[in-house]
Amino acid sequence: MNTSSPKVSQKVRTAIFPVAGLGTRFLPATKATPKELLPVLDKPLLQFAMDEARDAGIERMIFVSHPSKSAIERYVHHDEELCDALRSKGKHGIADRLGKDAIDPVAEQAHFVMQPTPLGLGHAVLCAVDEVLPGPVAVILPDDLIVGQKGCLREMIEAYETGVAGHMVATMEVSRDEVSAYGVLDPDGDVEGQCMTARGMVEKPEADAAPSLQAVVGRYILDASIFDDLRQQDPGLGGEIQLTDAIAKGIERVGLCGFRFSGQRFDCGSKAGMLRATLAFAGRHDEFRSILEDHASLPLAAE
Ligand code: UTP
């Protein structure tokens, strides 16, 4: 392991959820329903992300949203009236579940900030700056669903708190055809356990120019200096303030590590990924398994 990279070990107390994007790949569904509330069966993507943050011991959740996406706020907060109505009909199970899923106003901190224009992921993260607790911050992109024995953010925080680097990004190996859709790590050759230190990171490189096949997916733990780097960040690819560029800028100062998470990732920002996630979850339930089996043997009906 590279001993020259600065050692940082601070508690990760804040998680930022950027949820202000336009979700164009899911239009027209996302015209009125935020992408982050689209469900895998009955569970919205944002709920998976909140559960992952809770499991990781996060104290404060900051949702960076857009004024047109008020459904997200409504979803996150407890709905007493709905729960009462459900209980009056004897539906205690679902009322309990809704109570457990929503933010507990006594035990949990939830803050909302607005990103009036979706100027990129880096800009969305910067919008949260006034609400974060001291120390490094986690960023969770709800449309990257990661499921496994251990929550992805929890395993990242455990590795992060050993002080491997100031910035940590979740990575997975992809094929060369796919690299141009991702931020890609430039590893320095040091690997220890699930951590791979890196000297750089490039946003959406051409296949031939990619420094590796280690693609960055939607989980980050970032040293607090990321906010200074984001403030100074000029728009990059697509005219957006890229989080990748700001991370790359801080590498010499705080170090960068790619974390090869152990769970399975579904790109639920795409229709194909959402379909894969839905099929994978459906396959776990007896009530759906027979439908999947029947469907596999059916000829496709014309659209
Ligand atoms: P994506 O780029 O996948 O989301 O951003 P998008 O732009 O909404 O989707 P498409 O590409 O148009 O279909 C990943 C996450 O970052 C948020 C999105 O809401 C999503 O949760 N995001 C993205 C912001 O909050 N602000 C931005 O400016 C961009």
Q: Which residue has the higher pLDDT, 126 or 9?
A: 126
| Amino acid at residue number 160 | Y
Q: Binning pLDDT at 50, 70 and 90, where does residue 290 land?
A: confident
pTM (2 d.p.): 0.93
Mean pLDDT, range 222-235, rounded to an integer: 94
Ligand 1 pocket, CB under 6 A: 18-25, 35-36, 64, 115, 118-121, 123-124, 141-143, 269
**Within 10 A of 202 (CB to CB), how many other CB atoms are there?**
21
Quick check: 234 pLDDT over 50? yes
pLDDT, residue 6, reads 47
Mean pLDDT, range 159-179, rounded to an integer: 95
Position in ligand 1 atom list of the atom nearest CA 19: 19
Position in ligand 1 atom list of the atom nearest CA 142: 21
- What phi and psi, each to the nearest 5 degrees, are found at residue 293? -65, -45
Q: Which of 112, 143, 271 to mutate to test the pocket of ligand 1 (most atoms within 8 A of CB)?
A: 143
Ligand 1 center from residue 259 Cα (angstroms): 22
Quick check: 5 pLDDT over 60? no
Mean pLDDT, range 80-90, rounded to an integer: 97
Q: Which residue has the higher pLDDT, 297 or 65?
A: 65
Ligand 1 center from residue 289 Cα (angstroms): 32
Q: Binning pLDDT at 50, 70 and 90, where does residue 9 land?
A: very low
Contact call for residues 156 and 219 (beta carbons, < 8 A): yes
Report the chain's mean pLDDT, rounded to a whole number: 93
Percent of all residues in the chain with a pLDDT value above 70, rounded to a whole number: 95
Position in ligand 1 atom list of the atom nearest CA 117: 28
pLDDT, residue 298, reads 61
Give the residue from 8, 231, 218 showing the smallest Cα distance to 128: 231
- pLDDT tens, 243-264? 999 999 999 999 999 999 999 9
CA 33 to chain centre: 18
Domains of the chain, each with CATH number or no CATH = 14-296 (3.90.550.10)
Kindly state the tokens that stand for 31.
């015209």
Q: Which of 35, 61, 117, 182 to mutate to test the pocket of ligand 1 (most atoms within 8 A of CB)?
A: 35
Q: Binning pLDDT at 50, 70 and 90, where does residue 3 land?
A: very low
Q: Which residue's CA is minimally distant from atom 23 of ligand 1? A: 21
Q: Which of 16, 19, 266, 267 to mutate to test the pocket of ligand 1 (most atoms within 8 A of CB)?
A: 19
Percent of all residues in the chain with a pLDDT value above 90, rounded to a whole number: 83
- Please state whether beta strands 14-18 and 60-65 pair in parallel, antiparallel, or not at all (unpaired): parallel
